[in-house]
Structure 1
Amino acid sequence: MSDLCAAALLLAFTPHAAAADAGPIAGNPLIGIPAGPFVFGRDDGPENERPRRVLDGQAFAINRTEITNRQYRRFVEETGHRSAFYANHPALGLDDRPVVGVSWGDATAFCRHYGLSLPSERQYERAARGANGAAFPWGEHGNVVPANFGTDDCCSGDARDGYPMTAPADAFTDGASEEGVLNLVGNVWEWTSDIYAPYEGNASGESAGQYRVLRGGSWNSDPSHLTTTYRLAYDPEFRFAANGGFRCVRSEP
């Protein structure tokens, strides 16, 4: 077998290899997630993550990393949109770190500017869990966590993982998902497009339509928040969270 053929085979069977294109956001390619059945929800976790079922998913593509400060600043320069709240922070505002201090509306406006959208909960969970519904992007076991997270008790950051606050958006490659998407658990919570409601039944009158869903946990989350199914209801107008960011998707026709 020629060296060229061997290299081609190695690429084809390398874990985390997936179809990707450069996409409209410089430095943040879109990773293809194929159509097909996937596991959504779970029966052994919090009530709002139930029930577990198998859904038929449509193909889509998702940013390889969270949107960074550099990428968000380019959007601000192009559109005149307001800056992220922590744009000038000495640590949180670094170019290669995920942008934080953005509302749901800010995140939505960014994605729309590039012809994209925020991921739905189903898209986010499929990208994070793979088709078979893993507990973590890297598999079933959380004994060693290749992600940026906080203290054992919520909610403070620490430097055990090498970063007291946010990590570079392309860090923790050992924690990549099945298709090679990074930091779908840890680093920053990520906005989804969905209104918060139970998977089955009706939302309470108190919460119906008031909140959007964040996914993934963050640099100051304790381990109980670092799963592919955890759902956090959050005020979409709030833009002062130092641990909340986002990424975008392109839905396939």
Structure 2
Amino acid sequence: MVSSALAGDLDPIAGNPLIEIPAGRFVFGRDDGPENERPRRILEGRGFAINRTEITNRQYERFVAATGHRPAFYADHPLLGLADRPVVGVSWGDADAFCRHHGLALPSEQQYERAARGTAGRSFPWGETPPDEMRANAGSEVCCAGDDRDGYLMTAPSEALAAGASEEGVLNLIGNVWEWTGDIYRPYEGTSVVGGGRYRVLRGGAWNSDAEHLTTTYRLAYDPDFRFAANGGFRCVRSLP
């Protein structure tokens, strides 16, 4: 699909600006969590820009109207389909097509972690304090059911929960909806992947996630063709020179 974004179009998705993440050293992975998050490393990252919020139903519907791409599975849902809520019910291919249409790409795992953790390797975008109702749209204490303690039974508006923003001002990098990355699921080091490396990686947890899943390092291997998840969305990035 040919991109509709011009080279000079700095914010190709109306209402969802790209936030610059500068180049430099950052922490990737951790040694004190699940095995697939190891090892902790210091990497030298290139600069990039990432959408301030998750892609919304309104933004996705514009893409569908412009291209004839299939709608999101939950487009007509009374709660999940609200215009200002993050789009859910999209496969990896749907998300990839949206980003490419705008001259962008899905973030890599390294880009996601740099945006979410800052340079010091935070456990959460805002620091080390565990999530609360002001910072993340999360689920019940026992996985995996939604609750309305944060005011939202399911997804929250993409601009909500500003207290949980990252140091650069990116919103909802944990909670609200899982986010597709561009990467095939693999261990960081060592053994081969069960399933032949056919799964893609989701990051960030969602509105029905418990605390174990709501960190900046948690990795979820997922079938890229599955488009029926009511808790899976995405955002896009652009590499910088």
The aligned counterpart of 1:203 is 192
Q: Secondary structure at the match of 1:70?
A: helix
**1:210, CA displacement in angstroms?**
1.3
1:45-56 → structure 2 map (5 Å cutoff):
45-56=33-44
Q: 2:99 maps to which residue?
A: 111
Q: Within the alignment, does 1:29 sit opposite 2:17 as a pair?
A: yes
Unaligned runs of 5+ in 1: 1-20
Alpha-carbon distance in structure 1 between the residues aligned to 2:205 and 2:71? 23
Residue of structure 1 equivalent to 2:130 = 142
Task: Name the structure 2 match of 1:82.
Answer: 70
Q: 1:185 maps to what in 2?
A: 174
CA RMSD of aligned residues (A): 1.0
- Partner of 1:73, secondary structure, is helix
Measured in 2, the distance between the counterparts of 1:163 and 1:108 equals 28
| Partner amino acid, structure 2, of 1:130 | G
- What TM-score, normalized to structure 2? 0.94
Amino acid at match of 1:88: D
Question: Whole-Å Cα distance in 1 between the matches of residues 131 and 175 of structure 2?
Answer: 15
The residue type paired with residue 44 of structure 2 is: D
Deviations 1:158-181 (A, max 9, x none): 000100000000100000001000
Runs of at least 4 residues of structure 1 off by over 4 A?
none
Q: Which residue is 2:159 aligned to?
A: 170
State the 1:252 CA deviation: 1.1
Equivalent residue number for residue 9 of structure 1: none
Aligned residues: 232
Residues 87 and 78 of structure 1, relative CA distance in 2, 3 Å threshold: same
Deviation per CA, 1:87-116: give whole Å up to 9, x if none. Answer: 000000000000000000000000000000
Separation in 1 of the partners of 2:109 and 2:196? 17
Structure 1 equivalent of residue 3 of structure 2: none
Deviations 1:109-161 (A, max 9, x none): 00000000000000000000001000000101106351000000000000001
Percent of paired sites with the same residue: 76
Residue 64 (structure 1) aligned to one of 52, 64, 67: 52
Which residue of the partner structure matches residue 10 of structure 1?
A: none
State the one-letter code of the partner of 1:49: E
Alpha-carbon separation, structure 1, partners of 2:53 and 2:30: 25
Match of 1:40 among 28, 33, 36: 28
Secondary structure in 2 aligned to 1:184? coil
Larger radius of gyration between Structure 1 and Structure 2: 1
Shift of residue 76, structure 1, vs aligned partner: 0.2
Q: Which residue of 2 aligns with 1:230?
A: 218
Alpha-carbon deviation of 1:22?
5.5
Provide closer, same or farther for how the CA distance between residues 158 and 28 of structure 1 changes in structure 2, counting only shifts above 3 A. same
Secondary structure at the counterpart of residue 39 of structure 1: strand
